[in-house]
Chain A
Amino acid sequence: MKSLSESHWGPGALALFLSLFLLVFLVVPVTKVIYVAFQDPNSGALTLINFVDFFHNSLFRESFVNSLYVAGMSVLLSSAIAIPLAYFTTRFNFGGAVLIQTLGIVPLIMPPFVGAVAMLLLFGDNGSVNLLLDDWFGFTIPFMRGLNGVILVESIHYFPFILINLSAALLNIDRAMEESAQNLGASGVRLFRRIVFPLAMPGYVAGASLVFLKTFDDLGTPLLLNVNNMLAPQAYLRVTAVGINDPMGYVISVILVAFSLFSLWVSFLALRDKDYATVQKGGGGLMRRDLRRWEKIGCHAVVVLILVMVLSPHIGLALLSFGTVWSFSVLPDGFTLAHYENVFRTATQYISNTLLYAGLAAFIDVVLGTAIAYVVWRTGLPGRQWLDYVAMGAVAIPGVVLGIGYLRTFYEFQVPIVDEPLASWWVIIVVALAIRRLPYALRACVAGLQQVSVMLEEAAENLGATKSRTVWRVVVPLMSGGILAGFVTSFATAAVELSATIMLVSQQSDAPLAFGIYEFMQSSAGRGPGAALGIVAVVIVGIATYVSHRIIEKGEKKRQAGAAIAAAAGA
């Protein structure tokens, strides 16, 4: 953002820099890898034969359908979880709204494989819940079996995407809109359905499309639940089992990328030709209504129920981290602090590495995200949409593929001064994390920018502000909610990313948290310490999220106060 404000580069130079960055760190490495999909495995010539093989294989077709089904159902279930939480906390005067918002984001900050371990212990066929059910009523419920398990874990893991983006959008809606609607006689459900929800649509679609995409190519969850008949696990299993030279894994990667881009395009279409920006920023957010007593009880009941459900992986993980032996029983046999003692004795380096990597990556992401959003939505450069498409394409690149691509592309490049190949220098992990999480930050920034009316910028420029001053003083502050949402999402998810880092960590001292948890979880004695490390991760990122929420709220209040003073002065 400094470059925006202090230099006089035109948007063209900015776009050029962005394209270059994406080209070097995303397009080239991925192309190096997926090129294999178009290569005849025998002769090395270019061919489409691998795609023919793909669509002739009933297993692959089945995987494709399963992936679509799981992604679709996960969006539905996540919406059912996220919409009430977002609505209640932004629209009513509700005790502990910040706490709920923070707790609601906590599920994101656990590596999916850890979440699935905990969910299996609680909801698996011989998990606590089913053991109790079997004891009391003589039947069990297959929560975690097959695709159901994947849908449940994915929804609980990814619904925060909808929650964050929808909440940001709801907070950004101009109160005047709602007041006018009420003056015209709308209220209750009708008001929500016709005015509030449509105005918050960019946020919802941003979140829902992320849930769809992430679920569509999530690897960890199906693998841990041993569901193989989906596309991403098939790609991974092919690449890692058959070998790096097997084209089918890359064919699947190409299909994942293509399909993800397609669904993004559909979500663009859905939002096109509609204007969601509201001009005034005076009121700042929806009117908050006080609840009647019984309403309050009802809302709280719904919220508590949802929170218990979405926090169950954490409850399970906490039990595991304090438990001694937990085997075929409702609760662990005993409790101990030994696992935490073990972690703080041996694993603090993982924690500091993670804070450094995820912090840097999230910072890079919001800078790039804001810049890309601005170039795409506020300039008339030809082909600017491609920046958006390419950056979003990262969401569809399996981490393993990105990791292999980096190894292939950057191993020959020796970084001066540190004298190490770029591929094994820790900075490459930061770059990989930034690229992997850029789509989240970008969507949040775009949603933030879409709600800022162009008229405000025009007004600033009419008053004599330069382009860069307008961006720095008007656009960025007004979209700060979106930017912060992007930072939080990127930071929180980068802190627990595993699939790309597992390929890129070249020495123990560079390893981040998720890698450490993964390592611990590879041995019988390591389950407890692994869980303890997981809880540490959750606490760290939870605190970071809470603090940034407080900052948003403060900023919100300051703006409101400023607006009130301005209004008073005007009067």
Chain B
Amino acid sequence: MTIAKSRLGPVLAGAAVIVAAMAAPFQVSALEDKLVIVTSYPPDTTVTVSKAFEKKFPGIKVEVLNKQTGASIKYLQETAAKNSSDMFWASAPDAFEVLKGDGLLAKYDVKVKGIPEKVGAFPIHDPEGFYKGFAASGYGIMWNTRYMAAKKLPIPKTWNDLAKPVYDGHVGMSAPSRSGTTHLTVETVLQGEGWDKGWALWKEIAGNFKTVTERSFGVPDAVNSGQIGLGIVIDFFAFSSKASGFPVDFLYPPVTTLVPANIAIVKNAPHPKAAAQFIEYLLSAEGQEVLLDPKIMRLPVNPATYAKAPAGFPNPFKDTSIGAAVKFDLKKSKGHYNVVSALFDVTITYRLEDLRAATKAIHAAEAKLAGKPNAEAKNLIAEARALVGKVPVSESQAGAKDFNAIFKTKRKKAKDEAKGRQAEIEREWDAMTKANYVKAKELATKAAAML
């Protein structure tokens, strides 16, 4: 409020400001009447929760700063010297890991009781005490029911189903480099299926992509409006879309991971007491219940809260099939985090047209092959598939420390040196990938011509 009122003053003082000598900075007040939260969540979530919080603690005014996860990290890093943010609130645990690694988070011990240690295979709170889980999220397939009916498409049950030719051009997803939650999905499949098989599966699915969206919300948005029929999304996008009245539905495939969505106090926060208050509230029975608001629809981490959930709402503490098939290895994920992002972009996002062309040719050849045994054509198709599925690096190389360093290249000191450049490596990957896709298309076309 004071900001809005004082707005005209500075305009008039503007000229004086330039001339005036730097005044000594002075502290405004010691009272914690404000709380500044940096978050990647939409207003539907933030406004609903902070309204409930402000109602309970009328003295504190919540200020929300909405930025994409990546942009939030950058913002907190760039402003660390004169930090003005109290909390960071987002889904992807890896984002918190990055901030923790940079020493930008403050430790905090939660006082609220009743939160179990784990959800699925994941610890809810950071074992080192820097960030806290307040909700669980799983990844799955969301679809537009009108679209599916109009195009007469069956409902897929597993990731493998999405690779079927019938879904050609109907699927959408975001890229792991763009969205922390998508990164988890990609990593989950890689860990569930194994590195080589996992990548081959992703490329088979990607061959059916209509689009790779720039924002993670771009996927549910496109499914909601019917631009695409199926999307690979985080669960609450689907639940909240459905609650807003869109003709959509969602399921968890067997290979999925439940991970906590988190909140943390920023180091040197100007309002640490208010921030602690917010965490305690969010984890209390009252705060957990707010998560079931139709606009939010996230899985609470307090098992007791599920008693108040609407019928059909999944309960990971009861239904152990959700997220149980894979034991997600956070350390492994962290070990090749940037390599996976770069690989996905180089081989899928930026070469989607070539990949789609190759996949189409393979699908066409396979359709022709059905019912007409022809060993040579079959071999050619298998060869084409292998070419498409090929990844330029092995799992051990992707996880190697020196190799990863190239993709981080955050030189802390001027004398730190790394070998190789990311652009140089990506150039090689791109050349190899493009050649493979073109060759695969040729082989598949040749096979089809034989039949």
A-side residues, CB < 8 A to B, are 41-44, 49-50, 53-54, 56-59, 120-121, 124-127, 223-224, 226, 228-229, 233, 237, 240-248, 324-329, 346, 349, 356, 360, 404, 407-408, 411-412, 414-419, 421, 423-427, 502-503, 505-510, 519-527
With A59-B350, A412-B81, A502-B71 as given contacts, are A417 and B17 in contact (CB-CB < 8 Å)? yes
CB contacts (< 8 Å) of B10 on chain A: these are 417-418, 425, 427
Q: How far is the CB of A80 from chain B (nearest CB, A)?
A: 28
Cα A286 to Cα B338 in complex, Å, equals 62
CB contacts (< 8 Å) of A415 on chain B: these are 17
Residue from B82, B220, B408, B430 within 8 A of A59 (CB atoms): B430
| Segment of B117-125, B244-252, B267-275, B442-450 in the binding face | B244-252
A522 touches B177 (CB 8 A): no
CB contacts (< 8 Å) of A506 on chain B: these are 65, 84
Instruction: Report the 8 A-B pairs with minimum CB-CB distance, sorted nearest first.
Output: A328-B226, A523-B42, A241-B177, A53-B423, A416-B23, A524-B241, A522-B42, A328-B146
Cα A527 to Cα B240 in complex, Å, equals 13
B70 touches A417 (CB 8 A): no
B55 proximal to A (CB < 8 A): no
CB contacts (< 8 Å) of B192 on chain A: these are none
CB contacts (< 8 Å) of A425 on chain B: these are 10
Q: How far is the CB of B437 from chain A (nearest CB, A)?
A: 12
CB contacts (< 8 Å) of A360 on chain B: these are 11
Q: For A241, A325, A360, which residue has the most chain B Cβ atoms within 10 angstroms?
A: A241
Query: What would 23 A/B residue contacts be, using CB atoms closer than 8 Å?
Result: A41-B409, A41-B418, A42-B420, A50-B423, A53-B424, A125-B227, A226-B211, A241-B177, A246-B422, A247-B423, A248-B423, A324-B245, A325-B247, A327-B224, A416-B21, A419-B26, A426-B7, A507-B36, A507-B63, A519-B43, A523-B42, A526-B43, A526-B44
B430 touches A325 (CB 8 A): no
CB contacts (< 8 Å) of A326 on chain B: these are 225
A243 touches B410 (CB 8 A): yes
With A328-B146, A522-B217 as given contacts, are A42 and B419 in contact (CB-CB < 8 Å)? yes
B-side residues, CB < 8 A to A, are 1, 3-4, 6-7, 10-11, 13-14, 16-17, 20-23, 25-26, 28, 36, 42-45, 47, 63-68, 70-71, 74-75, 77-79, 81-82, 84, 144, 146-147, 150, 175, 177-178, 210-215, 217-218, 220-221, 224-227, 237, 240-241, 243-248, 295, 338, 341-342, 345-346, 349-351, 407-411, 414, 417-424, 426-427, 430-431, 434
CB contacts (< 8 Å) of B6 on chain A: these are 418
Q: A120-B225, A241-B175, A425-B10 are in contact. List 5 more A-B contacts (CB 8 A).
A: A59-B430, A228-B212, A416-B17, A523-B44, A523-B217
B423 touches A509 (CB 8 A): no
A329 touches B226 (CB 8 A): yes
Q: How far is the CB of B368 from chain A (nearest CB, A)?
A: 25
Cα A42 to Cα B423 in complex, Å, equals 12
- CB-based nearest A residue for B413: A44
CB contacts (< 8 Å) of B407 on chain A: these are 242
Cα A524 to Cα B177 in complex, Å, equals 23
A229 touches B350 (CB 8 A): yes
CB contacts (< 8 Å) of B430 on chain A: these are 57-59
B217 touches A223 (CB 8 A): no
Cα A360 to Cα B20 in complex, Å, equals 22
Q: How far is the CB of B170 from chain A (nearest CB, A)?
A: 10
Cα A550 to Cα B74 in complex, Å, equals 46
Cα A244 to Cα B67 in complex, Å, equals 16
Residue from A41, A329, A418, A509 within 8 A of B421 (CB atoms): A41
Cα A50 to Cα B419 in complex, Å, equals 14
B22 touches A414 (CB 8 A): yes
- CB-based nearest A residue for B222: A120
A523 touches B240 (CB 8 A): yes
Residue from A44, A246, A525 within 8 A of B240 (CB atoms): A525
Cα A50 to Cα B245 in complex, Å, equals 49
With A407-B79, A523-B217 as given contacts, are A416 and B419 in contact (CB-CB < 8 Å)? no
- CB-based nearest B residue for A236: B214
- CB-based nearest B residue for A241: B177
A121 touches B240 (CB 8 A): no
A424 touches B17 (CB 8 A): no
Cα A129 to Cα B178 in complex, Å, equals 31
B70 touches A126 (CB 8 A): no
B245 touches A520 (CB 8 A): no
With A241-B345, A246-B422 as given contacts, are A226 and B218 in contact (CB-CB < 8 Å)? yes
Q: How far is the CB of B9 from chain A (nearest CB, A)?
A: 8
A224 touches B240 (CB 8 A): no
Residue from B220, B226, B338 within 8 A of A524 (CB atoms): B220
Q: How far is the CB of A318 from chain B (nearest CB, A)?
A: 16
Q: How far is the CB of A127 from chain B (nearest CB, A)?
A: 8
CB contacts (< 8 Å) of A237 on chain B: these are 177-178, 214, 345
Q: How far is the CB of A111 from chain B (nearest CB, A)?
A: 14
Q: For A327, A404, A423, which residue has the most chain B Cβ atoms within 10 angstroms?
A: A327
Q: How far is the CB of A2 from chain B (nearest CB, A)?
A: 12
CB contacts (< 8 Å) of B47 on chain A: these are 346
Cα A247 to Cα B23 in complex, Å, equals 38
A328 touches B3 (CB 8 A): no
With A328-B225, A520-B43 as given contacts, are A240 and B213 in contact (CB-CB < 8 Å)? no
Residue from A43, A247, A503 within 8 A of B71 (CB atoms): A503
Q: How far is the CB of B430 from chain A (nearest CB, A)?
A: 5
CB contacts (< 8 Å) of A349 on chain B: these are 4
Residue from A233, A241, A411, A509 within 8 A of B78 (CB atoms): A411
Residue from B341, B349, B350, B421 within 8 A of A49 (CB atoms): B421
- CB-based nearest A residue for B295: A525
- CB-based nearest A residue for B45: A523
B78 touches A407 (CB 8 A): yes
B70 touches A240 (CB 8 A): yes
B147 touches A328 (CB 8 A): yes
CB contacts (< 8 Å) of A223 on chain B: these are 214
A245 touches B427 (CB 8 A): no
CB contacts (< 8 Å) of A521 on chain B: these are 221
A327 touches B3 (CB 8 A): no
Cα A568 to Cα B66 in complex, Å, equals 64
CB contacts (< 8 Å) of A356 on chain B: these are 7
Q: For B36, B71, B221, B414, which residue has the most chain A Cβ atoms within 10 angstroms?
A: B221
With A43-B417, A54-B423, A327-B246 as given contacts, are A523 and B43 in contact (CB-CB < 8 Å)? yes
CB contacts (< 8 Å) of A527 on chain B: these are 221, 224
- CB-based nearest B residue for A44: B414
- CB-based nearest A residue for B405: A42
B421 touches A226 (CB 8 A): no
CB contacts (< 8 Å) of B25 on chain A: these are 414, 419
- CB-based nearest B residue for A54: B423
Cα A50 to Cα B45 in complex, Å, equals 42
Q: How far is the CB of A255 from chain B (nearest CB, A)?
A: 14
Cα A418 to Cα B79 in complex, Å, equals 18
B178 touches A502 (CB 8 A): no
Cα A424 to Cα B79 in complex, Å, equals 9
Cα A439 to Cα B7 in complex, Å, equals 27
With A328-B150, A416-B22, A523-B217 as given contacts, are A240 and B419 in contact (CB-CB < 8 Å)? no
CB contacts (< 8 Å) of A53 on chain B: these are 421, 423-424, 427
Residue from B36, B210, B247, B427 within 8 A of A57 (CB atoms): B427
A245 touches B410 (CB 8 A): yes
With A241-B345, A509-B3 as given contacts, are A226 and B422 in contact (CB-CB < 8 Å)? no
A417 touches B23 (CB 8 A): yes
Cα A36 to Cα B26 in complex, Å, equals 36
With A226-B214, A404-B78, A418-B10 as given contacts, are A327 and B247 in contact (CB-CB < 8 Å)? yes
Q: For B3, B78, B225, B421, which residue has the most chain A Cβ atoms within 10 angstroms?
A: B225
With A411-B81, A524-B237 as given contacts, are A242 and B421 in contact (CB-CB < 8 Å)? no
Cα A408 to Cα B82 in complex, Å, equals 12
Cα A503 to Cα B388 in complex, Å, equals 39
Q: For A121, A223, A329, A507, which residue has the most chain B Cβ atoms within 10 angstroms?
A: A507
CB contacts (< 8 Å) of A247 on chain B: these are 423
Cα A374 to Cα B414 in complex, Å, equals 46
